[in-house]
Amino acid sequence: MEQQTSNDMRQMTALGRKIESNSFQIIDDEVGDHDWPDHEWQVVRRVIHSTADFEFRDLVAIHRDAIRDGINALKRGAPIIADVKMIDSGLNKARLDAWGVKVHCFISDEDVIAEAKAKNTTRAIEAVKKAHSLGLLDGAIVAVGNAPTSLLETVRHIDDNRAKPSLIVGVPVGFVSAAESKDEVMQRSVPYIVTKGRKGGSTIAVSILHALLYISANEEI
């Protein structure tokens, strides 16, 4: 499994690997000294790499158990519950397949849309409820890059003892409830990786997951 996973993780050409390596070196050089532990820095560095925004050095917050629990979840093939299809589209399928990980996104399902309209809620809220009804939330990685209401509904499920994800990647971007939803996550005991404040996005959620996939394939935790 380790050899297969490693092979799946190295799909880039030699030039692509060189460009990525050079980019990471530039980030390391420009950031200089920092207090991030190695595995956490790999996550933060990939966020900076995906955004070219060095503010994320200080905006990313990582629960002490997040890396370990996230990688363990991947290695046992836990599902990833994504708030939007952009996350599913951005993830490398070969890397996911190496661990048997499936991505689920219900935001555009007809029943979810109908429920949201009938209840005057949001599709993101009803998508979380559907994931729960299908028994997918417990032990899952919940990845939110766009919809704060998805993150808040996940928190409600945790508070009501209806779900206990292995990891929350909470990085919704926006002006309404984005920062507040992340603050709520950080007050819970479930491991998390979030971006504080308004900044975030699906691209960042994908970069965090790819960092975890890379670590899971190449390093021991």
pLDDT tens track, the chain, 221 positions:
444 444 444 566 887 778 888 999 999 999 999 999 999 999 999 999 999 999 999 999 999 999 999 999 999 999 999 999 999 999 999 999 999 999 999 999 999 999 999 999 999 999 999 999 999 999 999 999 999 999 999 999 999 999 999 999 999 999 999 999 999 999 999 999 999 999 999 999 999 999 999 999 887 66
Q: In what order do the strands lie in the sheet with 141-144?
A: 60-62, 192-195, 167-170, 141-144, 80-82, 103-104
The predicted pLDDT at position 10 comes to: 53
The predicted pLDDT at position 16 comes to: 73
Catalytic residue among 34, 39, 49, 157: 49
Quick check: 188 and 165 in contact, CB under 8 A? no
Q: Is 210 a catalytic residue?
A: no
32 in the Ramachandran plot: left (φ > 0), alpha (ψ -120 to 50) or beta?
A: left
Report the residue count for the chain.
221
Please state, in angstroms and rounded to a whole number, the distance separating the CA atoms of residues 213 and 104: 17
Please state, in angstroms and rounded to a whole number, the distance separating the CA atoms of residues 124 and 112: 8
For residue range 86-134, list pLDDT tens digits in order: 999 999 999 999 999 999 999 999 999 999 999 999 999 999 999 999 9
What are the b/e assignments for 109-145, b being 16+ CB within 10 Å? eeebeebbeeeeebbbbbbbbbbbeeebbebbbbbbb
Q: How many domains does the chain fold into?
A: 1
- Residue 80 has φ and ψ, to the nearest 5°, of -105, 125
Please state, in angstroms and rounded to a whole number, the distance separating the CA atoms of residues 151 and 112: 16
The residue range of the domain holding 16 is 2-218
The predicted pLDDT at position 2 comes to: 41
185 Cα distance to chain centroid: 13
Please state, in angstroms and rounded to a whole number, the distance separating the CA atoms of residues 183 and 160: 18
Please state, in angstroms and rounded to a whole number, the distance separating the CA atoms of residues 52 and 70: 25
CA distances from 171 to 23, 25, 82, 95, 193 (A): 23, 25, 11, 22, 8
Please state, in angstroms and rounded to a whole number, the distance separating the CA atoms of residues 74 and 209: 10
CATH value at residue 178: 3.40.50.10230
